[in-house]
Amino acid sequence: MATLKDHMNSPDELDLHEEDQQGSEQSGKSIIIKVLVALAVGLGIYMLPTPENLSPQGHKFLALVTTIVILWVSEAIPIGVTALCAAGGLILFGIETPAAAWAPFASPAVMFVLMIVMFGVVLNEVGLANRIMYWIFKVAGTGVKRLSFVLAVGCTVLATIFHDATVTVIMIFALVPVIRSMGITPQNSTNLAKFFIILIPLASSAGGFGTLLGGGRNPLAVEILQQFTNGEVSIGFMEYIVIQFPICLLTALATWGVVFLIFRPKEKELPASVKMEKMAPMSTRELGVTIIFTATFLLWTFSDLTGWHVSVVASLALAGFCGPKFVSFKTICDKFPWESWIVFGAGVSMGASMLNSGAGKFLAESLLPLLDGQATFVVYYGMGLFGSILSSMMSNSAAVALTLPITLPMAEMLNMSPKAVAMLAPLTTSFIMLVIGCPPTIIAYSTGYFSQMDFIKVAVPWCLALLLVATFGAMVYWPMIGFY
């Protein structure tokens, strides 16, 4: 068995292997059946009468997105190709102009994710990923339960401050060499590999709502609430932390529990070979990259003061990595998981089209009123579930922007707290059910250690369980601290 040290000396073996993703081994008959089913379902939706409050473009979008989701989930054809077909379909059916369909592939969010994933390649290339894992082993040991628990809580708490994609890419690139040193590759992936590789992005996503720094949806929800109440209600930085952060600890525990139950590994302890007794002092490359990383995190944290977009800081960091030749840009491009990034771009494109075509508004206006007259628990849980479903198809900020203008007036009519409804939105849009739902899951999927069906198998119960935690927070914890 190769040791972790062997992999440290052979970083070329640690790149991500898109061609190894598990959906590639299908028979031609299976592929044809899946494609025909996807097309038939999409055509069936298109043939239905167009509702009065839905535009023709929105109707065609719903037919197209259903087809694309079935193709993505079934992995009938490579997901990157499906992603390109999704944007092509928007143009073909007149839902979007060519410029509008392709522009989101180069949106600030997509470009930021591109650079964040490049950070992961850099971490691996200079050896920092292994050093991070060495520190984690030193704190948590090699026991599977304790190590995974520390990872889950650590990812969730870190994601309340840093971008959840940043946390994920650091942890994933630190963990993959460990898994490979055990002889586990994407082709022979085990429950142990799936457990750890899926746990990290879900735990990171479960913490993004914890502080105003955790994601754009958080200040957006506060802003919409303030506008809705004509400035009478505002939530400050520390108040937001008191309201949301304690719930993060519960979501971390729930995330660990759900993933452990579904992908329970048979191993109790990782082999001793993965743990290094002692590491050599930092090399010049490691030290240089560490300094640039630290400066980057600080600039992200104080971006409100500098006014610099996060993508600007990320691009400067890449210049800092490649300029002194800590790592070559060619190496970064060679080892970058391009397919996963294209899929994320398509997800953003589809999300934007859902808003532009009116399909999102139609769904919100059709489904959310069904909660009228229901018990408070059902209303909170139903609002959360709708937000989670939308967030699985579009950015969580867009989901917050789409749902709050509808749920806040509902809250007022139902004599519910607008503040609670507003703060529930960034919380529940953190939970997604599809791989394309957020950058952390795309990053993890790019390793090839799990299929989309593996992800759905755990993401759906995870989402439903965490919605219970969110509802508990809204109905029990928030009244306890006087937040109503």
Instruction: Determine the distance from the C-alpha atom of residue 482 to the mean position of all C-alpha atoms in its chain, rounded to a whole number.
Output: 31
Band of residue 276 on the pLDDT scale cut at 50, 70, 90: low
Band of residue 25 on the pLDDT scale cut at 50, 70, 90: low
What confidence score (pLDDT) does residue 277 get?
67
Q: Compute the average pLDDT of residues 23-48.
A: 87
Distant-in-sequence, close-in-space partners of 240: CB < 8 Å, separation ≥ 6? 211, 212, 218, 222
Structure tokens that stand for 425 in this block: 């939105």
Q: Compute the average pLDDT of residues 272-281.
A: 74
Mean of all residue pLDDT scores within the chain = 84
> Is residue 365 scored above 90 in pLDDT?
no
**370-395 tens-digit pLDDT:** 877 788 899 889 888 988 888 887 66
Q: Compute the average pLDDT of residues 91-101.
A: 93
Nearest to 119 by CA among 289, 339, 334, 281: 289
What confidence score (pLDDT) does residue 101 get?
92
**108-117 tens-digit pLDDT:** 777 877 887 7
Question: Residue 132 in 3-state DSSP?
Answer: helix
What confidence score (pLDDT) does residue 42 get?
94
> Is residue 270 scored above 60 in pLDDT?
yes
Q: What percent of the chain has pLDDT over 70?
A: 93
**128-159 tens-digit pLDDT:** 877 888 888 888 888 899 999 999 998 998 88
What confidence score (pLDDT) does residue 335 get?
82
**C-alpha to C-alpha distance for 361 and 363, rounded to whole angstroms:** 5
Q: Compute the average pLDDT of residues 20-43.
A: 80
Alpha helices in 77-190 (DSSP H): 79-92, 98-102, 108-126, 128-140, 144-159, 164-181
Q: Compute the average pLDDT of residues 34-40.
A: 94
> Is residue 184 scored above 50 in pLDDT?
yes
What confidence score (pLDDT) does residue 9 get?
43
Instruction: Map tokens 């190496």 to a residue.
Output: 331
Contact in structure between 148 and 199 (CB atoms under 8 Å): yes
* DSSP string of 24-89, one letter each residue: G---HHHHHHHHHHHHHHHHHHHHSPPPTTS-HHHHHHHHHHHHHHHHHHHTSS-HHHHHHHHHHH
Q: Compute the average pLDDT of residues 467-471.
A: 93
Band of residue 321 on the pLDDT scale cut at 50, 70, 90: very high
* DSSP string of 388-401, one letter each residue: HHHHTTS-HHHHHH
How many C-beta atoms surround the C-beta of residue 100 within 10 A? 16
Band of residue 226 on the pLDDT scale cut at 50, 70, 90: confident
What confidence score (pLDDT) does residue 62 get?
92
Would you say the pTM of this structure is higher than 0.85?
Answer: no
